[in-house]
C-alpha cells in the first residue's frame, strides 16, 4: 500500500466562553476569547505544513449545541483552506455539538465530510487514488449511552481503516460516560486506527495494531487542563504500520503551580518562592501566554498571615502586577490557600483524652460521605439565599473533603492555643 500521513484532532471546543472572564484583565480576557479560534487556525496550518493527506476530527468541534454563527463560519473557512491545498477533512460531532443542536445553513466545502447519526464508510484519496477508508458517526443528541463502537461495520478490501468516534473508553471517570466501550471491543473490529475524542487529556490506549488514541483537546480551558495541548500527526507506512507524533497547537498555556510555606518565615519569602515557581511555568509554556493557578500548601507560621481577611486577594494582586504587562503575559488566575497551621496534628490525635477523641473523629469524618452530606446541607442553606444565587456553586466532592480537612486543622490549632 501507499504510505500516507494524516492529522488526528478532537475536542476543539471552538468559541469556548471561558467561565468568569469578567474577573480577568481585559487583555487576558480578550486573548482567552480568541484562543480556541487561534488554536484551530494552528491546526489548519499544521495540516498544510506537514503535507497531510487528510484531517480527522473526533467530535466536540464546538463548545455548545447552540454554536455561534462566527464559530461555524471560522470552522468552515479552515476546512475550505485545507480543500484549496487538496486536503480532505472528516468530521464527527460529539456531546457538546450534537446533530440536534442549532445548526446554521452554511455551505461546507466539498473536500469536507461530516458524518451523520449512522456509521458509514468514506474514502480518503490522494491525487485521485484511494489511500484509506474512514468510518465515523456523530451524536444525534447530547446524551448517548449506547455503545456506538458496536455499530461500526467491519472494513472490507485492503485499504487502511480508520474509525472516528467520540466515546469514553473503559469508563474514564473525569468524563461523562457517553458511548461507553472498551479497548477489547475497539480492537476486535478490524479497524487499524481508532481516532477518538471526548477525553481531553492526550493518551494512547493501545500503541499498535490497532492504535487507539485520544489526542486531547486543542486548547486548555481551565487549570486542570494544564500542559501542552494539540493534535497527533499520524504516519502510515507501506505495511500499514503506524507512527504518531504529538504537535502542540495551543496559544494560551494553563498551569497549576504549588508553593509550599514549609520553612518560610515571612510573606516576602513566599512571594519569592511564588515568582520562582512562575518562572518554571513560563519556561514550560515555551513563549505562549500563561494562565496559572497557584496552590499554597505546607504548614507553618505563615498560615496565620494567609488566613487574615483579604490576604490571598492582596497577594494575588501583588503577583499579577508583576506580570500582566509583560509579553507573552502571565496571569495568576487564582491563589488557593491549602496551608495548615504549625501544629503537631498527629500528636494531638494520638492523645488519650477528649482532644484526642475529637481529633480522631476528624479523621473518620474525612472518609464519611454522611459528613460531607451534612456540610452540603449547611452550605445549601447559605447558598440558597438570594444574594448568592448565580454567584457561588455548591462545591464538588474534592472541595468538600478540603473543607472538612481545613476544619480539622482549625480545631487542632484551637486546641493547641488553648493549652
Task: Please give the size of the binding site for Mn ion, defined by CB under 5 A.
Answer: 2
Least Å distance, CB 186 to Mn ion, is 19
Nearer to Mn ion by Cβ, of 11 and 15: the residue is 11
Half-sphere exposure of 12 (CA within 13 A, CB side): 29
Least Å distance, CB 11 to Mn ion, is 4
Nearer to Mn ion by Cβ, of 60 and 289: the residue is 60
Work out the end-to-end distance of the chain between its first and last CA atoms, rounded to an integer number of angstroms: 80
Residue 63 sits in the site that holds Mn ion (CB under 5 A) = no
Nearer to Mn ion by Cβ, of 92 and 345: the residue is 92
Nearer to Mn ion by Cβ, of 115 and 329: the residue is 115
The Cα 92–Cα 99 span in angstroms is 9
The Cα 415–Cα 278 span in angstroms is 36
Nearer to Mn ion by Cβ, of 60 and 225: the residue is 60
Give me the helices (H) in 227-310, please.
Answer: 267-285, 302-307
Least Å distance, CB 45 to Mn ion, is 22
Query: Are 341 and 406 contacting, i.e. CB atoms less than 8 angstroms apart?
Result: no
Least Å distance, CB 349 to Mn ion, is 43
Query: Are 405 and 372 contacting, i.e. CB atoms less than 8 angstroms apart?
Result: no
Interface pick for Mn ion out of 8, 9, 11, 290 (rule CB under 5 A): 11
38-61 core/surface letters (b: 16 or more CB in 10 A; e: else): bbbbbbbebbbebebbbbbbbbbb
Q: Which stretch binds Mn ion (CB under 5 A): 55-63, 151-159, 297-305, 373-381?
A: 55-63
Nearest residue to Mn ion, by Cβ distance, number only? 60
Q: Which stretch binds Mn ion (CB under 5 A): 52-60, 104-112, 181-189, 301-309?
A: 52-60
Least Å distance, CB 200 to Mn ion, is 6
Q: How many other C-beta atoms are found inside a 10 Å radius of the C-beta of residue 86?
A: 14
Query: Are 345 and 359 contacting, i.e. CB atoms less than 8 angstroms apart?
Result: yes
Q: Which stretch binds Mn ion (CB under 5 A): 24-32, 53-61, 106-114, 367-375?
A: 53-61
Interface pick for Mn ion out of 15, 53, 60, 192 (rule CB under 5 A): 60
Of 215, 251, 218, which is closest to residue 234 (Cα–Cα)?
A: 215
Q: Could you list the residues that contact Mn ion (CB under 5 A)?
A: 11, 60
Amino acid at each position: 500500500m501507499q504510505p500516507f500521513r494524516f492529522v488526528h484532532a478532537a475536542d476543539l471546543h471552538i468559541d469556548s466562553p471561558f467561565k468568569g472572564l469578567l474577573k480577568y484583565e481585559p487583555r487576558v480576557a480578550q486573548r482567552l476569547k480568541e484562543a480556541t479560534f487561534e488554536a484551530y487556525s494552528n491546526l489548519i496550518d499544521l495540516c498544510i505544513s506537514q503535507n497531510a493527506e487528510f484531517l480527522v476530527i473526533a467530535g466536540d468541534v464546538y463548545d455548545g449545541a447552540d454554536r455561534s454563527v462566527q464559530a461555524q463560519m471560522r470552522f468552515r473557512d479552515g476546512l475550505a483552506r485545507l480543500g484549496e491545498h487538496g486536503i480532505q477533512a472528516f468530521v464527527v460531532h460529539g456531546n457538546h455539538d450534537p446533530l440536534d443542536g442549532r445548526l446554521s445553513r452554511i455551505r461546507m466545502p466539498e473536500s469536507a465530510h461530516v458524518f451523520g447519526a449512522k456509521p458509514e464508510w468514506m474514502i480518503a484519496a490522494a491525487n485521485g487514488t484511494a489511500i484509506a477508508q474512514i468510518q465515523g458517526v456523530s451524536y444525534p443528541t447530547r446524551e448517548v449511552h449506547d455503545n456506538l463502537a458496536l455499530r461500526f461495520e467491519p472494513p472490507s478490501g485492503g485499504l487502511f481503516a480508520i474509525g472516528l468516534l467520540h466515546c469514553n473508553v473503559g469508563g474514564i471517570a473525569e468524563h461523562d460516560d457517553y458511548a461507553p466501550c472498551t479497548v477489547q471491543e475497539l480492537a476486535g473490529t478490524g479497524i487499524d486506527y481508532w481516532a477518538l475524542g471526548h477525553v481531553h487529556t492526550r493518551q494512547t490506549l493501545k500503541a499498535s495494531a490497532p492504535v487507539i488514541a485520544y489526542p486531547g483537546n486543542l486548547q486548555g480551558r481551565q487549570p486542570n487542563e494544564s500542559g501542552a495541548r494539540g493534535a497527533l500527526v499520524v504516519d502510515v507506512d507501506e505495511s500499514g504500520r503506524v507512527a504518531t507524533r504529538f504537535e502542540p497547537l495551543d496559544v494560551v498555556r494553563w498551569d497549576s503551580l504549588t508553593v509550599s510555606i514549609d520553612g518560610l518565615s515571612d510573606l516576602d519569602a513566599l512571594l519569592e518562592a511564588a515568582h520562582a515557581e512562575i518562572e518554571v511555568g513560563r519556561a514550560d509554556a515555551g513563549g505562549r501566554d500563561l494562565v496559572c493557578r497557584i496552590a499554597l500548601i505546607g504548614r507553618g507560621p505563615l498560615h496565620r498571615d494567609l488566613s487574615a481577611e483579604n490576604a490571598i486577594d492582596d497577594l494575588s494582586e501583588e503577583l499579577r502586577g508583576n506580570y500582566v504587562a509583560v509579553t507573552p503575559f502571565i496571569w495568576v488566575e487564582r491563589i488557593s490557600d491549602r496551608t495548615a497551621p504549625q501544629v503537631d496534628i498527629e500528636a494531638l490525635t494520638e492523645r488519650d483524652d477528649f482532644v484526642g477523641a475529637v481529633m480522631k473523629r476528624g479523621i473518620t469524618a474525612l472518609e464519611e460521605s454522611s459528613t460531607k452530606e451534612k456540610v452540603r446541607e449547611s452550605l445549601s442553606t447559605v447558598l440558597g439565599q438570594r444574594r448568592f444565587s448565580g454567584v457561588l456553586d455548591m462545591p464538588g466532592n474534592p472541595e468538600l473533603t478540603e473543607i472538612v480537612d481545613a476544619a480539622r486543622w482549625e480545631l487542632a490549632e484551637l486546641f493547641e492555643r488553648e493549652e
